[in-house]
Structure 1
Amino acid sequence: MALEFEKPLKAETTNIPGMLVFDLTVHGDSRGWFKENWQRAKQAVLGLPDMRPVQNNISYNVERGVTRGMHAEPWDKYVSVATGSVFGAWVDLRPGDSFGEVYTCVIDPSKAVYVPRGVGNSFQALEDGTAYTYLVNAHWSAQLKSTYTFVNLADPELGIGWPIPLEEATISEADLGHPALADVLPMAPRRTLVVGCDGQLGRAVRALAEERGLSRWFDFCDVDTFDMSDPGAYGQYDWPLYGTVINCGAYTAVDKAETADGRVVAWRANAVGPALLAHVCAEHGIVLVHVSSDYVFDGTAEVHTEEESFSPLSVYGQSKAAGDLAVAGCPRHYIVRCSWVIGEGRNFVRTMAALSDRVANPEDSLERVTVVGDQLGRLTFTCDIAEGVLWLLGYREGDLEPSSPCACGTYDLTGSGPVESWAQVATRIFNLANGNGAKVVSVPTAKYYASVEGSIAPRPKHSALDLSKIEATGFVPRDWTERLVEYMATR
């Protein structure tokens, strides 16, 4: 078939979500032709994901009519033709509304197709001596092969109009024996590993995954089963099976981190662990989500943006800043920066509610409670962090796989609403618990800690984070004062 020269490079979407067809620019004359078959920078601008290929395969087809497929493997493909031409057919075998969608086109050296993981791929050689080539972004392994999905390329339900009738084509017995679409088990999405699942945030992520029907594709681990700061622990996972790691683990004992022993533990959990996670995620093209803290700043600015330079005051803040820097080196990462986190387990809200109960009890000698009044911020409820993380990853309501991921990078995520002091927050809690907010006494930080023995970590004065970046993606966190009312109702 005639090859069209000098077409401009362009990309077209298809009816199969995520699948792209590229027109490639081929330069030719009487001697032959030349093309850039894959050009990462140019095609990224046109929407090609940074698939990070690790292997290049070529299928040589001796005769016209050789027909191969329909296979869906657990990796992304970028397919093209080196010589000759093929009729390509693709079927979406991923779970969801697009399951069973079919797309076909002819590929010659001037075309290429990006095929997302889980989309079945088949082709029929239209010329003798056709060489079909494809890049993939995972090395073959026996465990990965066990996740393949197939469909019968002759299934009438697919309605594929093969140019050469299949009864005249050359097809393997294995391909002829694949199941009909009605009997196909959809390919499971890449798995998500949640690290630190027994902490406040980890429990919230697990609860949301279960609520949305995603937990069957999530694995959960805590430090007892996976110590992310131990290089030897990484061998227990087959990392090519994972598409996302959500790091909910951290050492958060801010004052203990100032001690000799606590400093070591804090740096292992908050810096060494994230650095090792970032390395393995970068190596395997995995998306890494890492939760950070307002403590990476000194609190001088009244509102902190994602672009502010690090200026931590404490060992805890320094270790978190080091973890952020390590994670930022992972090509596909989200750093989610929070402040004043509240979830299940011991936290400020529950402590204040318990103190309010004591003050309200006439048999208890506690008459009032002093709370710091010159540190300002907003509460962040773990349910909002969990929702924000899934939103950034691209999960929308009803999605079983990410469909619209946000741009990678750093995002501030706290509750919206007023910026208040710890003492003002405590007053709200006391009023909600027993109507005794007047019993909260606001004091300066220096006075509050004057009589405390042991190491006390310096705190940022201002912890409010700018939410405009994450709100621009369409995710608007709930007002923390509304969340507080709901939280207190279930205490």
Structure 2
Amino acid sequence: MGCEDSNTLEYSKTLGVSTTPIPGFLRVDLTVHGDNRGWFKENWQRAKMVELGVPDFGPVQNNISFNDEAGVTRGIHAEPWDKFISVATGRVFGAWVDLREGPSFGAVYTCEIDPSVAVYVPRGVGNAYQTLEPNTAYSYLVNAHWSPKAEYTFLNLADETVAIDWPIPLDHAILSDKDKLHPRMAEVTPFPTGKQRVLVTGSNGQLGRELMKQLPAAGFEVTGAGHVDLDITDAAAVQAFDWSGINIIVNAGAWTDVDGAETDEGRKKAWACNAVGPANLARVANQYGLTLVHISTDYVFDGTQSPHSEDEALSPLGVYGQSKAAGDMAVTSATRHYLVRTSWVIGDGNNFVRTMAGLAARGISPKVVNDQIGRLTFTEDLAAGIIHLLSTKPDYGTYNLTNEGEAMSWADVAKLVFTGTGHDATQVTGISSAEYFAGKVAAPRPLNSCLDLTKLEATGWLPKPTIQRLHQYLKA
């Protein structure tokens, strides 16, 4: 299927975007303004074109192909990046074949391109171009830097199954020796549709380790980055990082020493990790069209509302909460973001449940605060909930994510841990926060950390009950 050819450049067409038989491949009609001096056009206009449906694909390189003669024919090449193709001078006949694995494999679209027509070509769709006039130049924006390591998929220009009707027969056209040797369709290995590629920052933490385990099992390609691999607080390092192979960032790193954040040194580290780092990631997410997932906390609230909804005004009490709130605000500047707000995280590492189990095992009777209430969040479910958002792609924005169940105090949790490990729950003594922190340098804490899960559950994901997960965790 193709569009009608025309030798006359059409001026003042309305900018428009239309679909084609190849999924994701778009034809763009451009507005060209002309008079006796020549013509002018907006070749790529991000705001207008994105509004009409062209993906905001984040081009990073602009290439121009100049051809002296009519009949120069190149292709059919499927590259591992997206492209926006347009003509500067002359005319070309374009032919595209879907070489991606899947039901549309082999679908064909042909179209003549002059300065008033452009096309958006998704990665994995094979492209070929034949110049129809001498001195033809066409340009293409791509969203990955060219690399000699890039893997292409090829199809022979003369393949009988796609049967492209070349305006200039191939035996009269100008072809490279390499293009003549490309395989027929029966020999083509389909271009892999590609797993989403995820970078997990803070990959050595409790949640990071769980994400590194669950993401590959859910069909994602995942790369972990600890502080040594990528210092997100360093804007220059974040900009210099190679983002060309990444689709999604999950920022699981944070400064979580709540009391330490109240010290002179800790305050600087908390703000760098929790506010500056997310701002740097939001900047590159917008720059390269990436999805940013950021983990937030109940500490951005003062604990006076119950439960806390996603749209509640931020009201942090201490430095830690203030730095996380600043990070939240920075993350919302990313066009594609999921801000996941959670509380009382328990996973593979040092945490409250492990501490209580250790005290029980050593016969120590702890005093635990009984006026701070909330819900535990097990990293198994936190990671699964994040993957649910990435897989089902509900509207971008903020989502609360904890385990389900009745709110409990820290003392209640401690008693369940003692009971679950075969010890006497009466060994746990509940005391007020004021009593517990008397005489200590400590950050203020929200007394109510319960998060409203209605929005998340409306997407079709139901977190497991807290009690069930706690029992499983203690057995493991």
- Same-fold status (TM-score > 0.5): yes
> SS of the residue aligned with 1:304?
coil
Query: Which residue, 111, 117, 130 being the options, matches 1:106?
Result: 111
Amino acid at match of 1:52: G
1:205, distance to aligned residue in structure 2 (A): 0.8
1:343, distance to aligned residue in structure 2 (A): 0.9
> SS of the residue aligned with 1:329?
coil
1:246 corresponds to: 250
Please, what is the CA RMSD of the aligned residues?
3.5
1:385 corresponds to: 382
1:418 corresponds to: 406
Query: Which residue, 177, 180, 187 being the options, matches 1:176?
Result: 180
1:442, distance to aligned residue in structure 2 (A): 3.7
- Distance in 1 between residues matched to 2:469 and 2:161, nearest whole Å: 49
Matched, 1:152 2:155: yes
1:116 corresponds to: 122
CA gap of 1:112–1:293, structure 2 versus 1, over 3 A, is same
How many equivalent residue pairs? 466
> SS of the residue aligned with 1:146?
coil
- Distance in 1 between residues matched to 2:161 and 2:341, nearest whole Å: 47
1:465 corresponds to: 451
Contact map agreement 1:192 1:245 (CA 8 A) in 2: yes
1:56, distance to aligned residue in structure 2 (A): 4.3
1:488, distance to aligned residue in structure 2 (A): 2.7
Paired residues for 1:341-490 under 5 Å: 341-357=345-361, 364=363, 366=364, 369-393=366-390, 395=391, 405-434=393-422, 436-437=424-425, 440-450=428-438, 453-490=439-476
Matched, 1:45 2:51: yes
Contact map agreement 1:16 1:98 (CA 8 A) in 2: no
Contact map agreement 1:87 1:104 (CA 8 A) in 2: no
- Distance in 2 between residues matched to 1:224 and 1:58, nearest whole Å: 39
> SS of the residue aligned with 2:296?
strand
2:241 corresponds to: 237
1:222, distance to aligned residue in structure 2 (A): 1.4
| Identity value in percent | 50
- Distance in 2 between residues matched to 1:89 and 1:155, nearest whole Å: 12
Instruction: Normalising by structure 2, report the TM-score.
Output: 0.83
CA gap of 1:160–1:430, structure 2 versus 1, over 3 A, is farther
- Structure 1: tracts of 5 or more residues without a match: 359-363, 396-403
Contact map agreement 1:230 1:273 (CA 8 A) in 2: yes
* Deviations 1:374-401 (CA, angstroms, capped at 9, x unpaired): 22222222122222333333x3xxxxxx
CA gap of 1:435–1:5, structure 2 versus 1, over 3 A, is farther
> SS of the residue aligned with 1:454?
coil
1:370, distance to aligned residue in structure 2 (A): 3.8
Contact map agreement 1:419 1:464 (CA 8 A) in 2: yes
1:134, distance to aligned residue in structure 2 (A): 2.9
Contact map agreement 1:71 1:148 (CA 8 A) in 2: no
With 172-181 and 432-441 compared, the bigger mean Cα shift is at 432-441
Instruction: Normalising by structure 1, report the TM-score.
Output: 0.81
> SS of the residue aligned with 2:247?
strand
Amino acid at match of 1:211: A
